[in-house]
Amino acid sequence: MTRRFDLWATLTDPLIRQNPVTLQILGICSALAVTTSVATALTMAVSLTVVLTLSAGVISVIRRHIPDTIRLIVQIVIIASLVIVIDQVLQAYFIEISRALSVFVGLITTNCLVLGRTEAYARYHPPHHAMVDAFGNGLGYSLILIVIGALRELLGKGTLLGQPVLPLAEAGGWFTPLSLMLQPPAAFFLLGLAVWAIRSVRSEQAEPPQSAELVRKEPGE
């Protein structure tokens, strides 16, 4: 480490510029599945951020003692232990939300975002750097989850965190819920639109055209 550690940049880069969900398209399985309401999205976001930060810290502490050949197994054991703790806490204190999240808390173990950060960053950096990086990535994931969850709950049910926001047509208001928003395709649409919006503003994130040949040969329309 010759470069000075920039704590602020490590923390804030993953929010938009290096966002794990919209740039690296990591962890979208759970991001799509649990965003039908803000409450579940928020719980999932907090759980993942806690697991990610703690596992990055633990793995970073023992990074010089993990044999390379079995490093994935060691990492998964550490992550899985933390996930079980979180799952038990949720079942003990928030049983409703735990039921709504069903298997997805357990599946944090296999979330590519967690394994991606521990494998790519925590193995090579001291604990406090690794934890700041993991926390920033957790926040970036949370940001996307909460934005999509809020949009889906607002447009699909007219509520936010269970509180009515838009007056429903059934109760004399003007808003008719868009039930498509509560179905899985809506999460794809919203995530796609979010990626599109971010890449339009930050054009350095856009991928190069896959087929340069095709682009060149087309005559001016």
Partner 1 sequence: MSRGLWDRETVALLLLAALMPMAMLWLWYGGAAAFGRLWLALLVAGAWHLLFMLARAQPPSFAGALSALAIAMLAPVELGPLRLALGISFGVIAGELVFGGWGRNLVNPATVALAFLGFGFPAAPWPDLLAPLAWAAIPAALIGLAAGVMPAGVIGGALAAGLAAQAAAPLPPGIWIAASVALVLLVADPVASAGTRLGRWLNGALYGGLVILFAHWWTGAAPVQIAVAAALLASLTAPLLDEAAIALWLAQRRRRLGQS
Q: What is the dihedral of CA 137, 138, 140, 146, to 10 degrees?
A: 170
Candidate list 25, 185, 197, 202; residue touching partner 1; CB under 8 A: 185
175 forms beta bridges with: 168
Neighbours of 84 (CB within 10 A): 13
Shortest distance, position 178 Cβ to partner 1, whole Å:
5
Stretch that binds partner 1, among 9-17, 90-98, 132-140, 174-182 (CB under 8 A): 174-182
91 near partner 1, rule: CB under 8 A: no
Shortest distance, position 185 Cβ to partner 1, whole Å:
8
Contacts for 56-59: CB closer than 8 Å, 24+ residues apart: 56/117, 56/118, 56/121, 56/122, 56/130, 56/131, 56/133, 56/134, 57/122, 57/127, 57/130, 57/131, 57/134, 58/82, 59/118, 59/122, 59/123, 59/130
Candidate list 16, 107, 147, 178; residue touching partner 1; CB under 8 A: 178
179 near partner 1, rule: CB under 8 A: yes
Q: Are 153 and 37 in contact (CB under 8 A)?
A: yes
Q: Are 123 and 70 in contact (CB under 8 A)?
A: no
Quick note: the x/- pattern for partner 1 over 97-116, rule CB under 8 A, is --------------------
Separation CA 104–CA 101 (nearest Å): 6
Shortest distance, position 22 Cβ to partner 1, whole Å:
16
Shortest distance, position 182 Cβ to partner 1, whole Å:
10
Count interface residues toward partner 1 (CB under 8 A). Answer: 12
Candidate list 183, 184, 197, 206; residue touching partner 1; CB under 8 A: 183
Stretch that binds partner 1, among 4-12, 36-44, 136-144, 189-197 (CB under 8 A): 189-197
Quick note: the x/- pattern for partner 1 over 125-164, rule CB under 8 A, is ----------------------------------------
Stretch that binds partner 1, among 73-81, 95-103, 108-116, 172-180 (CB under 8 A): 172-180
DSSP string for residues in 144-206: HHHHHHHHHHHHHHSEETTEE-SPBTTTTSSBPP-GGGGSHHHHHHHHHHHHHHHHHHSGGGS
Residues within the interface to partner 1 (CB under 8 A) = 176, 178-181, 183, 185, 189, 192, 196, 219, 221
